[in-house]
A and B are shown apart, each in its own frame.
Chain A
């Protein structure tokens, strides 16, 4: 009986215990749910913030950014893209890009988006819209897990101004090249006219000394003209190879002076030094005068011989130019500074005042002019 009496109570206790356990479990579930919801809210908040930041970044880009589905339907666009056609982003979604930008009913030829859908690779194209603007279009595929291109990102940049500036620069460069070409042509023609005037004058002159003076003047014009020629053909308009220049100049002088080629031989040993046109021009005049001097006086009575021209860099940074010959030598008591001939006086003046260098005679037996001039410190205006 006692057992019968206790049964409901026991049952009650068990039931109460079970309900309390369920209650605890439920409370735990509710607490977990609340925690999950809180985490979800925080996550959604973070996502919204991130999304809004990305949207702001993409909208701040002035280029047109589009995400296109197959069939050229616009899935997403940034404000730059909407601005370029005076539309709102919401009005663009679902429309076809070729309709919005090109007023066409079918895709454009060579469309990079279509190419990317086919190849699954990036593409590039320059296109002109009906309003005359030029666009640079770049595309990138968006692929699913199987590697199928599901959409294409298109970046369009308006390069109308850039193209215009580029064309203007090209035109300007062409104009400058033509101008330079014409200037070069004019200069050469004018130098030819001056040389021809002297040459014509010499046809009516019989005095050998006067003829010689006219001849020397023509040689000087040629030596200056050669600098101009070298400068025009030089890649760097501020530098000319002294070796190239002196080789051409000296060979031209030797050929011009000799009635019998090969009697007087030229030996050149010139370091390949790029120098300013001013220095090269002055060196040219100096070498021209000294070679002419040797050709005129060093080998009388059809003597054979050699003229040597060397240019080297000295240890102190100076350049050393030597012009010598193995002819009959200077006359007794020769002083090139006191000679009446213009040529050698001109040489001394050019070396000392224009090259800011020194000139002297060599000590060895053969007549030799030694000229030293600074590599640096030359007035380059």
Chain B
């Protein structure tokens, strides 16, 4: 049985592919990959993942923070940011989207995994 359903919104193909493989290997059910903010909102609405891993700098007209804000508020799906930005200004903007976590690249996969598991656990318990 899958341990939860995850959507990855990341415009770096190699990073996205690597994350997809790792999460799949760890037993998570994976949504199709997206590389734009609009795509993230659309797939999240269709496939209803348990968690969204969201890059901040994405292709398309909507960045990861905007997409995360809508996914969180409209769909009630927790979002974990994965970003190369670690400046105070970006992190403060990201904070406004009430994320479940913020991971700076290069990612510490083990910490990321335990955060995903904990977010899904909290979601299941509160359901």
Measured CB to CB, the residues of A under 8 A from B are 181, 184-189, 191-197, 199-200, 203, 221-222, 225, 229, 232-233, 252, 255-256
Contacts and interface: CB of A to CB of B under 8 A. Distances in A.
Given A192-B12, A193-B14, A200-B21, A181 B87 contact: yes
A256 B12 contact: no
Contacts of B110: 255-256
Contacts of A195: 18, 106-107
Q: Name the residue among B18, B25, B111 with the largest chain A CB count within 10 angstroms.
A: B18
Interface string B102-119: 001111111100000000
Interface string B72-100: 00000000000111110110000000000
Contacts of B22: 199
A196 B18 contact: yes
Nearest to A189: B84
Contacts of A184: 84-87
A196 B14 contact: yes
A186 B12 CA distance: 11
A221 B14 contact: no
Contacts of B25: 203
Interface residues of B, number: 25
B45 interface: no
A233 B106 contact: no
A378 B126 CA distance: 56
Contacts, number: 75
Given A184-B86, A188-B84, A196 B17 contact: yes
B84 A229 contact: no
Nearest to A248: B108
Q: Name the residue among A185, A194, A221, A229 with the largest chain B CB count within 10 angstroms.
A: A185
Contact of A192 (B15, B86, B90): B15
A186 B84 contact: yes
Interface in B17-43: 17-19, 21-22, 25
5 contacts: A181-B90, A192-B84, A199-B18, A232-B86, A252-B111
A197 B87 CA distance: 26
A232 B17 CA distance: 28
B105 A191 contact: yes
Contacts of B19: 196
A256 B107 CA distance: 12
B57 interface: yes
Nearest to B16: A196
Contacts of A221: 106
A229 B91 CA distance: 14
B109 to A, nearest CB: 8
Contacts of A187: 84
Contact of B105 (A188, A199, A233, A252): A188
B21 A252 contact: no
A193 B55 CA distance: 13
A92 to B, nearest CB: 51
A199 B85 CA distance: 22
**In the complex, the 3 A-B pairs of residues with the closest C-beta atoms, listed nearest first:** A196-B18, A188-B84, A192-B105
B107 A192 contact: yes
B17 A200 contact: yes
Given A193-B14, A199-B18, A185 B85 contact: yes
A256 B86 contact: no
Nearest to A187: B84
A196 B104 CA distance: 14
A225 B106 contact: yes
Nearest to A225: B106
B117 to A, nearest CB: 13
Nearest to B82: A192
A252 B12 contact: no
A122 B10 CA distance: 60
A187 B106 CA distance: 9
A196 B84 CA distance: 14
B53 to A, nearest CB: 13
